[in-house]
Chains A and B, each alone.
Chain A
Amino acid sequence: METLGFLIDGFGVALAPHNLMFALLGAFLGTLIGALPGLGPANGVAILIPLAFTLGLRPETAMIMLTAVYAGAMYGGRISSILLNIPGDEPAMMTCLDGYPMAQKGKAAEALAISAVASFMGSLIATVGLILLAPILADFALTFGPAEYFALFMLAFATLGGITGKNPMKTVVAAAIGLMIATVGIDNTGVQRYTFGVLELYEGVDFIIAIVGLFAISELLFFIEERAGGGKAKMVVNKLKLSWKDIRDIMPTSIRGGVLGFIAGVLPGAGASLGSFISYTLEKRVLGSKGSFGEGDPRGVAAPEAGNNGASSGALVPMLTLGVPGSGTTAVLLALLISLNITPGPLMFTQNADIVWGVIAALLIGNFLLLVLNIPLVGIFVKLLSVPPMYLLPIVTMVAFVGIYSISNTTFDLYFMVAFGMAGFVLRKLEIPLVPIILGLLLGPEMEKNLRHALDISDGDWTVLWDSGLAIGLWVFAGLGLILPYILGPLLRRRMQVAASTGGPEGD
């Protein structure tokens, strides 16, 4: 099979010593980022992008490192769910339900180990799925014309909020703002747009600066506002007593969770939180009375973890094959690709085969690394978790400053970053999601280019945008993506909340 050959080449890239070293570094940093309070995966990857540049890494090495960070962050997120009952991010919410009760019973180490194994299985299954599905989707995507791409971008924006999203109109507002920022600069007909004669704006707004500002700086401001500098209670982890039987017991659960998570990850608009939710509820239904869900059942830890790691690998499928990310973190990875001068999309599989398959192989290797890192080193991560944010966040901010400064050695970029941070704070207060802004910044130029091509071909006839069956299908899904949250959203959100409250330690 052709894919197998590519994959072997990919392993050749990923196993090169320096790539392996950076994968290890990335996996470690990623777990740390996932575990630390106040640093979500998107945030963490964003801060590390400038670092990848300043290190002068080759494209495939940079991509491998940050993919490992991405995979690691998903692993790390579970640590605070289990030990503190505080989910690091939304997908980790379901892990609290059984993880925290397990920790309360003095089985924290077991819960952490089980979740590591389940995460590993989930990612492994989803990576295999990625290997099988991605080339097919990439081939299919080659038939897309400019009109289809334009519709696809619309679909990406419409489904970004997710079915569980709160107010789809705010996603629209955010996307429009992001796209507007993307139009600043000299366009490809040579006309200056919205530069106001400022030299630094001629090349447009650097999205790395925007991302770091929006995520990292606004996070600092949020911590200051919530006066959460003191950190959280101390945690203790018991000594690990895990037998093979325990691992065997959670295997079927992990496999089911991984498959479901992968599907949720690939589909636009579903994402990791739905992945972990579905796999948890399904597991509860399948096992029914045989389990003790909500009271510290190991399978209740395994299911959502396998689900959310499966979903995060699955989310790479649309990002790699279509150049359309389905989540905040994959959007940040896309930012890295674009700044490495790699055009994401189906052509990447032929033109940059070494990078794509190197990354996929790195994902597989990264999983093994993470499993090996996580079981013995969990104590270190737990220690670092107790570093209070009042020291941590200023240092993170400083790293962001250094990173941005080292890209261009100008102070102008730093002011810009602070301004974006302030804007990010205000927007988050207004519950305007930031991810569509980032996506708008990233996809804006491509979107306009495709619109231009489509209309040039049709000689200015706008109906070309919905002329083919495929394009109509994409438009319909985009429409559904905006309308469904109004109908299904409240329902699903309520069920997730009910699950979260009744599954708690004191509930039934």
Chain B
Amino acid sequence: MTYNDRIFGVLMIVLAVAYGWGATQFPEPFGGSEAVGPETFPLLLAVVLGLSSLYLIVRPDPDNAWPWSRTGVELIIALVVLVLYAMLLQPLGFIISTLLAVGTLCWRMGARPVKAYVTGGVAGVVVFLVFNFALDLSLPLGLLSFLEVS
């Protein structure tokens, strides 16, 4: 099957056209136009991307299989964990969010749940201590801020 490259090629051509059109909409820079304005280089890029994507559509490589079903679900879980980790880093604090994020990732990758969350917790505490005391950089404490010294 050779759908991957074709679909990607079509998407990239759409991107190239949108990007190129965007370049023509730039306001003229202060002081009048020059030989190379802000739009020249982007327009060149749009042409290059368009042509090379066209090549992909015409002569695509064989596909790699996409992970459907269970593996796909695992991937989505991992992505959700990463996004939640970013989201909760400040409100929950570094240690708790790391415990949850690293623990969940270890667990989903095949570790036993207890071991996984212990790993997460230890890693979180160690990195927090290293950053706070050895490197003098404060990571957010969040819910644990009552522990704050000084």
- On A, residues with C-beta under 8 Å from B are 54-55, 166-167, 169-170, 172-173, 176-177, 179-180, 183, 187, 189-191, 193-194, 217, 220-221, 223-225, 227, 229-230, 388-391, 393-395, 397-399, 401-402, 405-406, 411, 414-415, 417-418, 421-422, 425, 429-432, 447-448, 451-452, 455-456, 458-460
Contact = CB atoms under 8 A, between A and B. Distances in A.
Given A229-B110, A411-B89, A224 B49 contact: no
Given A173-B12, A183-B45, A421-B82, A431 B61 contact: yes
A191 B29 contact: yes
Contacts of A432: 8
Nearest to B139: A402
Contacts of B15: 180
Interface string B99-111: 0011001101111
A230 B110 contact: yes
Contact of B64 (A55, A220, A417, A430): A430
The 8 closest A-B pairs by CB, nearest first: A460-B35, A414-B86, A229-B109, A390-B109, A394-B105, A189-B29, A176-B49, A229-B110
B22 interface: yes
B90 to A, nearest CB: 6
A237 to B, nearest CB: 26
Given A397-B105, A415-B83, A452-B34, 19 more contacts: A55-B135, A170-B56, A173-B56, A179-B45, A220-B105, A224-B108, A227-B110, A390-B106, A391-B119, A394-B119, A395-B102, A398-B124, A399-B127, A401-B89, A405-B89, A405-B139, A411-B87, A455-B36, A456-B35
B48 A401 contact: no
A452 B42 contact: no
A177 B98 CA distance: 33
B71 A177 contact: no
Nearest to B5: A430
Contacts of A227: 71, 110
A166 B66 CA distance: 20
Nearest to A399: B127
Contacts, number: 170
B36 A429 contact: no
A221 B109 CA distance: 10
A167 B89 CA distance: 41
30 contacts: A170-B61, A173-B12, A173-B56, A176-B16, A180-B19, A183-B41, A187-B38, A189-B31, A190-B30, A191-B26, A191-B29, A193-B22, A220-B78, A221-B78, A224-B74, A227-B71, A229-B111, A230-B110, A393-B105, A394-B109, A398-B102, A399-B127, A402-B139, A405-B139, A411-B87, A418-B83, A421-B82, A422-B79, A452-B36, A459-B35
A180 to B, nearest CB: 5
Q: Is the interface of A mostly helix, strand, loop or mixed?
A: helix
Contact of B89 (A169, A172, A414, A452): A414
A100 to B, nearest CB: 27
A173 B90 contact: no
Contact of A411 (B8, B82, B86, B108): B86
B98 A190 contact: no
A393 B119 CA distance: 12
Interface residues of B, number: 66
A264 B41 CA distance: 33
Interface in B119-149: 119-120, 123-124, 127, 131, 135, 137, 139
Contacts of B34: 189, 452, 456
Given A191-B26, A402-B139, A415-B86, A395 B110 contact: no
Nearest to A176: B49
Contacts of B16: 176
Contacts of B19: 180, 194
Which of B19, B26, B79, B82 is the most central at the interface, judged by chain A CB atoms within 10 Å of its CB? B82
A448 B56 CA distance: 26
Contact of A54 (B41, B94, B137): B137
A187 B29 CA distance: 10
Contacts of B48: 172, 176
Contact of B110 (A390, A417, A429): A390
Contacts of A398: 98, 101-102, 123-124, 127
A426 to B, nearest CB: 9
A225 B109 contact: no
Contacts of B71: 224-225, 227
Contacts of A190: 29-30
Interface string B41-65: 1100100110011011001010010
Contact of B41 (A220, A415, A429, A451): A451
B78 A173 contact: no
Contacts of A172: 48, 52
Nearest to A416: B86
Given A189-B29, A394-B102, A397-B82, A221 B35 contact: no
Contacts of A394: 101-102, 105-106, 109, 119-120
B109 A194 contact: no
A395 B123 contact: yes
Contact of A456 (B36, B89, B124, B135): B36
B46 to A, nearest CB: 8
Contacts of B86: 401, 411, 414-415, 417-418
A459 B37 CA distance: 13
Contacts of A169: 52, 55-56, 59
B58 to A, nearest CB: 10
Contact of A221 (B38, B75, B120): B75
A223 B106 CA distance: 11
Contacts of B4: 429-430
Contacts of B98: 398
A390 B111 contact: yes
A176 B55 CA distance: 14
A394 B115 CA distance: 13
B140 to A, nearest CB: 9
